[in-house]
A = this chain, B = another copy of it.
Amino acid sequence: MQTRQRIAHFTSLDALATEDIEQLIERALQLKQGASVRPLPTKTVANLFFEHSTRTKCSFDMAEHHLGLHVLPFETATSSVQKGETLLDTCKTLQAIGVDALVVRHGETGYYEPLQQQLSIPIINAGDGSGQHPSQSLLDLMTMYAEYGHVSGKTIVICGDLRHSRVARSNAHVLQRLGATVIGSGPREWFDETMGITYREMDEAVATSDIIMLLRVQHERHTDGRPFAAEEYHERYGLTEQRMKRIQPEAIVLHPAPVNRGVEIADELVEHPQSRIFDQMTNGVFARMAILERAFETATIKETR
C-alpha cells in the first residue's frame, strides 16, 4: 500500500483529484504554447500495446521523443507473452532490465489493478478493455479548455455507443466534476442509464450543446450477426450536413478517431472550421507529455528522498 501511494500511476481520471486534473490540462496547454521541458534522456520507457492503435501509440512515442526519453522497443506479437508469461511477469522483467515507466494498452478491463501494487515504476494506462482511456479523456478536456478556458456551465453531448465506449463513462464523470452539464444521445439501446446523465434526441441535442462529442461506432465490438446499416445510422444519429447547420455558432465537434466517414459524421465535415478532430490529435501529444512528466516528477521525488 505504501508503494501504491508513492508511485504516480496514471490509470483513470476518476483516481485523480480535480485539482490534479486541472493542473495536467494547464501544463499540457503550456507545453503546446512552447513551454520548455526538462529533458529526461537518461530515463527509459516501454510502450506495451496489446491492442491495435495508431494515434495513441504514435502520440505517446512523439511525446516521449519531445521529453528526450529513451523508448525501449517492445513488440507484443513476438514477446514471451506468446510463451504464456503473465503481464505482471513481463512488467517486472522490464523493471528489472531498467525500464523507468510503462505505457500499457491491454484488452482486459482493469488489467492494471494487480500491477500497481507490485511494481515500483509507474504504469500509464493507454486503454483497458471497455474500462478507461484516461489520456484520451485528458486530451478531450484540453481541447475544450483551449476553446473556452474552462467547461464550467457548458453543455456537452456525447453521441453514439455510450455503453461500449471506454471514453464516454470517464468523460461524463470528469466533466460533471469540472462543472459541465453532460447529456447523451445516439441509439436508445446503446444509451447507458447507469451513467447518471440525461438522454436527448439527436436533433435537439446537437442544436443545444456547446461541445458535441461523437463516439466511434466500433464495428469490431458489434458482432451480433446483423450487417450494420451505415447510412441509416448516419441519418438517424450521425452529424449530417443538415444537423451541422443548426449547431451553435461557437460550438465545437470532437471525435476520438479513427472516424468512420459518412457514419458518425459526414465526410465533408471532418475538417469543418468547427471540427476539432485533427486538433485533438495534435493536443494528444502535449497531453501525454504532461502525463509522462508527472510520472517522472513523482518518481524523482521518491528517489531523492
A residues sitting closer than 8 Å to B (CB atoms) are 44, 46, 49, 52-55, 57-59, 61-62, 65, 70-86, 89-90, 92-94, 96-99, 219-220, 257-261, 278-279, 281-282, 284-285
Give A278's nearest chain B residue, CB to CB.
B96
A49: which B residues are within 8 A, CB to CB?
Answer: 78
A44 close to B65 (CB less than 8 A): yes
Take A98-B285, A278-B96, A281-B96 as given contacts and tell me if A61 and B72 are in contact as well, using a CB distance cutoff of 8 Å: yes
A71: which B residues are within 8 A, CB to CB?
Answer: 73
Question: Oligomeric state, in number of copies?
Answer: 3
**Residue from B76, B79, B98, B284 within 8 A of A282 (CB atoms):** B98
**Residue from B74, B92, B260 within 8 A of A58 (CB atoms):** B74
A96: which B residues are within 8 A, CB to CB?
Answer: 278-279, 281-282
B93 close to A58 (CB less than 8 A): yes
A76: which B residues are within 8 A, CB to CB?
Answer: 78
Take A54-B85, A258-B85, A282-B98 as given contacts and tell me if A77 and B80 are in contact as well, using a CB distance cutoff of 8 Å: no
B78 close to A53 (CB less than 8 A): yes
Give A76's nearest chain B residue, CB to CB.
B78
A257: which B residues are within 8 A, CB to CB?
Answer: 89, 93
B278 close to A92 (CB less than 8 A): yes
CA distance A58 to B72 in the complex (A): 7
A259 close to B89 (CB less than 8 A): yes
A93 close to B52 (CB less than 8 A): no
A53 close to B80 (CB less than 8 A): yes
Take A77-B78, A84-B219, A258-B80 as given contacts and tell me if A65 and B70 are in contact as well, using a CB distance cutoff of 8 Å: yes
A77 close to B79 (CB less than 8 A): no
**Residue from B58, B97, B281 within 8 A of A281 (CB atoms):** B97
CA distance A259 to B80 in the complex (A): 11
B44 close to A97 (CB less than 8 A): no
CA distance A259 to B74 in the complex (A): 19
A73 close to B70 (CB less than 8 A): no
A100 to chain B, nearest CB (A): 11
A75: which B residues are within 8 A, CB to CB?
Answer: 75
Sample (5) of A-B pairs whose CB atoms are under 8 Å apart: A57-B78, A58-B74, A75-B75, A83-B258, A96-B282
A278: which B residues are within 8 A, CB to CB?
Answer: 92-93, 96
